[in-house]
Structure 1
Amino acid sequence: MPSPIPVTRLLPTDFGLLVGVCSSPLTKHTGALTLRVPNRTVPTKLASRLWSSVIYWRELRDLEPIGSGGFGLVFKGSYLGETVAVKRVKCAKNKLASRQSFWAELNAAHLRHPNLVRVIAASTQANGDDVMGESGDSVIGTIVMEFAGEMNLQQVIYSPAEPLRPESYATDIVRALQHLHSQGIVHLDLKPANVILTRNGVCKLADFGCSVKVETQHASVCRSEIGGTYTHRAPELLKGHEVTPSVDVYSFGITLWQMFTREPPYEGDRQHIIYAVVAYELRPDLNKDVFSPTGPGCVFKELIGRCWSAEPSNRPTAEQLLTELCELSL
C-alpha cells in the first residue's frame, strides 16, 4: 500500500483541523476530526493556493470527461468556485505501475510556479464515485488540479492554423524545468503533449506521473525501469543508467526541434529508433530549412544540438538554458 501523504506538505500554517464529511487518505471516514479543504466562506485567492490531502466531494461539480490515458480519465469541472481538471487514476494491468504513477503525480504538488500546473487537492479515497459516475473498485486515487487551458503544445504544433511562438514557449518550459530541478524533481516525460497552453499563451508543464525526486540538483537516482515517451527519452535512460536533471534537458531539445519544424521527431519502428538513438546517436534532422542561416531557427540550431548531446555532462543545465534564452529574446 502507498504511504500516507506527509501532513507537513498539506496545508498552510493558518489552517487548522476542521470537522466535515470528506475524504482523506490520512484517516478512515469515522466522523472524527480530519483535514479537509475549506468551505465557501474561505476567500477564493486563499483556496486557490491550497494543496490538501482531501477532496471535498460535494464541492466537485459539473464534471465532463475531456480525455483519457493509460492510467485513467480526465474531467473538467468546478471545485470551490474554480474551474479545475480532475484526473482519476485507475488500476491498469500493471497495478504497481499505476500506484507509482499516482504518487509520482504528487511529487510537485507542493510547488507554486506560473509555468507548472497547480495541484489543488488529492485523495486515495473513492468517495466521489457518485459525483463522477464511476465504480471505485479499480480507482487508485483522484487529483484535482487547476484547469490551465483547452489545448496542449502538441495540438498547437500539428495544427497549421494555430500560431506558434517557439522562443516564448521555450522560455516558459525552461522556467518550469529550472524550478523543478532546483527543488530536486526530475519530470522524466517532457514532451509537447504534456505542456498546456493558457488562453494568454503561457506554457504550463503538466503530468508528473513519471517524475522522480533527487536530493539535490546534481544528485542522481538509479531505476531499472523508467517511464516516459521513447522519442523524447535520453539515451542514458534507454540504456538503464542513472536519472539526473539533464534527461529533462535532452527531452527539451527534442521538443524545441518540434516547435520549429512542426514535425514528429522520428518515423519508423520503435525498437529500431531506440537502437539507433543509443548505438548511432540518431537525432532529428537539423539540416532542415528552418535551421538554415536565413531561417527563424538558425540561432537555435547549436542550442538544440547541445541539449540532446549523447554525453549528459555536455548538456546545459536548465538554469544555463534560461540565461541563454533570455539573452536571445533581447
Structure 2
Amino acid sequence: MRTGQVVGGRYRLEARLGSGSQGEVWRAADQRLHDRPVALKRALSGGDDAAAAKVRKESQALASLNHPNVVTVHDLAEDDGDHWIVMEYVAGRSLADLGTVDAETAARYGAQLAGGLEAVHAKGILHRDIKPANVLVTEQGQAKLADFGIARQVHAEPTLTGTGAVTGTPGYVAPEVVRGGRYTAAADVFSLGATLFHAVEGTSPFGEGNAHALLWRTAQGDRVAPKRAGTLEPVLDRLLEADPKRRVAIGDAHAELARLSGEPVSGRSRAPLRRKWIWAAAAASALVVLAAVLWPALRPAESGGDPAAGGLPVDYVGDPRTADPCALLDAEALSVYGRARLDSDYGNFNRCDVFLDTETGWVDVELYFYVSTAEPERGPTRMEGPIGVISYEGEHDECERTLVLPDGTNLLSIDAGQDESGESDLCAIADTAVAGALAVLDHGEIPRRAPEDPASLYGLDACELLGDEALERFPGVNAHSPYRGFGDWECEWYSTTSDRKVSLEFDRADPPTAEDGEVVEIGGRPALVEGDHWYPDSCLVSVVNRSYPSADGDGTTTTEFLRLIVFGDEETQEDRCALAVDLAEPAAEALPDA
C-alpha cells in the first residue's frame, strides 16, 4: 500500500495511521463524497470466500448502527482480493493516550460509552475488547467505541480450547472469560469498568505487568484498590463485579454514570436484546494467545495434570524455598548424549545442573528458577498445556529454553552450554531436558527438596543481611524497595543519585584458593576480594559461610559463599571495592555460626 493509491475504485489513501498483526489502518479520502475523510482498515487478505462472507455479515450489522458514541462503519471495500473496512475518521486521541482524568470526566466518558455499548448490544453484537486504546476521544470531548471484531484476521478467530486462545486484553478482560467461560454481554460491561478504572487511576484494575501475571490476578480477583476514583468508586465496583450474574446491567450503568457526570447523555437505546450474538472479536491485541491455555481447566483431555479447584491455575512452585530444581532434571534421559552426572550443589539454591561427558568435550545442562515481572524474551513460543515454552537458539556454545509458569512471574530456565571443543547438538539436549521437566510438571506441584543444614545460607533472606544502618554506607540507596530474587536468595539495591547498584546473592562452588583473588578476613570469616572477575565496572567480594562434603557423594567439597557485588562506572575500581568490603562486613556478621 502507498500514499495516493485508490482502494475499491473510490478511497484514496492519504496517510498510514498504524499497522500491526491485524493489518494496516489508513486515513483516506472518499472521492465520491467530496473527499470526505474516512479511516480504512484491512480486514482480510486473499481469497477465502467463507471468511469474506463472515466479514460482510458483520460489516452490515455494524453499518446499520448509528450512534454518536460508536465509530460508524460506512462500507466494505474489496480491492484485488483484499477486504477493507471503511469507517468514520475520528480526529482525536485514544483514552490510553490522554492520561488520567478526574472522576467527573471519567463518568461523562463512561456514560457516553455505556450508551454506545447498549446500542451495540441491542444489535446483537459483542465488542469483546473494550480497553483504553479502543476508545477514541474527539477534540470536543466525545468518547467513541472503536475497533470492533470485523477488523481481525479471520484465521485468528478466538476459541476456548486446549490449543490456546482467549479474546480480550489482559487487565481488561472479564474473570469469567479468563477462567474459560463463554463471552457474554456482561463481559463487555466488565471491560468498560476496567477502562474507566484506567481513566481515573492510570492502570488496569489488576495493576501492570506481563500478560501472564495480569491473567493470574484476574482469575483470582486480585484487584488494585482505587485511590482517585472518588464518587465513581461505587459504580466501578458494580461494573467490576467478579460474578457476571451480579454485575450491573449496561442500561443501569448508563443511567448511573450519566447521573454522576451531571449532564444528560444522548443516544441511549432501549431496544430489546437479540438472543443470537454476532461474535465480533476486537482487533489488534484482541487475541491473547497465551491466555486460556494458562488455566489447567482447559488442558487437553489426554493431559495428566490435576487442575486446581474452580479452574484456577495450578501453583507449581508453592513455597519457593522448598521447590527442588533437581527434581525437574532427568539425568537418565540426558545420558543418551554422554555420561551424565547430576550436580545438586553448584550455584545458588534455585539451580541444579547435569554435566555430560561427551566424545568431543563436556556439556552443562543448567536449570534454574527465577522471578520476573517483565515480558519474557521474544522467541519462537509453543504451549505445553498451561506452560509456555520460549526457545532461544544461541551461538555454537549455547541453546536456551524458558518455561513460563501460569502465574507469569515464576519462570524456569534450561540452558545447555558446552566448551569450545564441543560439537554436541545443544538444542536437542535442551529439548530433552524440557521434556523431562514438563513430564514432572504434568503431575502438578514441583517436588519438594530435603531440608538443609541450619548453618546453611539456604534458610536466610538475602535482603535482611543488610539493615538500614549498614545500607547507610551506600550513598543514595533506595533502602526500602530492593529487588528480591527467587526464594529471597538474591537481593539488589539501587542508588537514587547515581548508577550504582549493590547485589547480594548466595552461591555454591569449589573451595576458594589464593588464585581467586586477594585473601582477606571479613566479619571473622575468610573472604576474597575478586574485583571485576564477574562483571566489568564492578567489584566482587566473596565471604565463606561454610564448607562441607558434597551431597552428591562424588568425593568433592562444596563451599557456600555470600557474594556481594558493587556496580558503577562513575568511580574508580578502588572505590568500588572499598564499598564492597565495607558492606560485606555487616552482612558477614549476620551469617549463622558455621
Is TM-score (shorter-chain normalized) higher than 0.5? yes
Name 1:126's counterpart in structure 2. 79
Deviation of 1:315 (Å): 0.9
CA contact (8 A) 1:232 1:254 kept: yes
Higher relative contact order at CA 8 Å, sep ≥6: structure 1 or structure 2? 1
- Report the counterpart of residue 98 of structure 2 in structure 1: 156
Q: Indicate if the aligned counterparts of 2:7 and 2:13 stay in contact, CA closer than 8 A.
A: no
* 2:272 equivalent in structure 1: none
Structure-2 separation of matches of 1:56 and 1:122: 11
C-alpha spacing 1:210/1:258, structure 2 compared with 1 (3 Å): farther
Q: What corresponds to 1:89 in structure 2?
A: 43
- Letter in structure 2 aligned against 1:126: D
* Residue-pair matches, total: 241
1:250-329 equivalent positions in 2, closer than 5 A:
250-265=190-205, 266-278=207-219, 280-286=220-226, 288=227, 290=228, 297-329=229-261
1:78 corresponding residue in structure 2: 29
The separation in 2 between residues aligned to 1:226 and 1:102, in whole angstroms, is 20
Structure with bigger strand share is 2
SS in 1 for 2:87: strand
CA gap of 1:116–1:70, structure 2 versus 1, over 3 A, is same
If the length of structure 1 is used for normalisation, what is the TM-score?
A: 0.65
Give % identity: 30
* Correspondence for 1:293: none
CA distance in 2, matches of 1:283, 1:101: 37
Preserved contact between residue 210 and residue 227 of structure 1 (Cα < 8 Å): no
- Counterpart of 1:58 in structure 2: which amino acid? G
1:153·1:192 contact (CA, 8 Å) conserved in 2?
yes
* Counterpart selection for 1:177 from 117, 123, 134: 117
Inter-partner Cα distance in structure 1 for 2:176 and 2:144: 26
Conserved 8 A contact 1:210-1:228 = no
Counterpart in the other structure of 1:247: 187
Structure 1 residue 185 displacement after superposition: 1.5
Letter of the 2:195 counterpart: T
Alpha-carbon spacing, 1:229–1:150, altered in 2? closer, same or farther (3 Å): same
Residue pair 1:281, 1:310 contacting (<8 A) in 2 also = yes
Q: CA deviation at 1:104?
A: 8.1
Specify whether residues 62 and 185 from structure 1 end up closer, same or farther in structure 2 by C-alpha distance, changes over 3 A only: closer
Shift of 1:307: 1.0
For residue 324 of structure 1, report the CA deviation from its aligned partner: 1.0
Equivalent position amino acid for 1:64 in 2: A
Q: Partner of 1:111 in structure 2? A: 65
Q: Alpha-carbon deviation of 1:99?
A: 6.8
Q: How far is the alpha carbon of 1:325 from its aligned partner?
A: 1.5
Q: Is the Cα–Cα contact under 8 Å of residues 101 and 209 in structure 1 kept in the other structure?
A: no
Change (3 A) 1:99 1:70: farther
Mark the CA change 1:305 to 1:78 in structure 2 (over 3 Å): closer, same or farther: same
Change (3 A) 1:149 1:209: same
Query: In the aligned structure 1, how far is the partner of 2:14 from the partner of 2:218?
Result: 42
> 1:72: Cα distance to partner?
0.4
CA contact (8 A) 1:190 1:251 kept: yes
Distance verdict in 2 for CA 1:282–1:89, change over 3 Å: same
In the aligned structure 1, how far is the partner of 2:214 from the partner of 2:85? 34
TM-aligned CA distance change 1:264 to 1:326, over 3 Å? closer
C-alpha contact (below 8 Å) 1:189/1:210 kept by paired residues: no
The whole-number CA distance in structure 2 between the counterparts of 1:271 and 1:67 is 26
One-letter amino acid of the structure 2 residue matched with residue 147 of structure 1: Y
Distance in 1, Cα, partners of 2:146 & 2:218: 26
- The Cα offsets for residues 114-139 of structure 1, whole Å up to 9 and x where unpaired, read as 1111111103x324xxxxxxxx6xx4
Distance 1:283 1:325 in 2: 21
Is the CA contact (8 Å cut-off) linking 1:115 and 1:176 kept in structure 2? yes
Whichever residue aligns with residue 210 of structure 2, its letter is D
- Which is further off, 83-92 or 190-199? 83-92
In structure 1, what residue type is equivalent to 2:26?
F
Q: Describe the SS at the equivalent of 2:9.
A: helix
1:104/1:274 Cα in 2 relative to 1: closer, same or farther (>3 Å)?
A: farther
- Structure 1: 5+ residue stretches without partners: 1-54, 128-135, 212-221, 291-296
8 Å CA contact retained: 2:55, 2:150: no
C-alpha distance in 1 between matches for 2:14 and 2:25: 10
Q: Is the 8 A contact 1:223 1:243 kept in 2?
A: no
SS at match of 1:314: coil
SS of equivalent to 2:79: coil
Q: Which amino acid is 2:79 matched to?
A: A
What is the CA deviation profile of residues 255-294 of structure 1, one whole-angstrom value per residue up to 9, with x for unaligned ones? 111111123542223223212221x2112322x2x1xxxx
Query: Deviations along 1:122-180, whole A, 9 cap, x unmatched?
Result: 03x324xxxxxxxx6xx4x101111022311111126x9x9x92122111111111111
Partner of 2:141: 201
Say whether 1:58 aligns with 2:9.
Answer: yes
Moved more, 309-318 or 255-264: 255-264
Q: What residue number does 1:145 align with? A: 87
Instruction: Please identify, of 313-322 and 262-271, the stretch whose mean Cα deviation from structure 2 is larger.
Output: 262-271
Secondary structure in structure 1 of the residue aligned to 2:37: strand
2:353 match: none
2:8 counterpart of 1:67:
no
- The C-alpha deviation readout for 1:166-217, integer Å capped at 9, x for no partner, is 1221111111111112222111100111111122111111111179xxxxxx
- The CA distance in 2 between the partners of 1:188 and 1:104, in whole Å, is 17
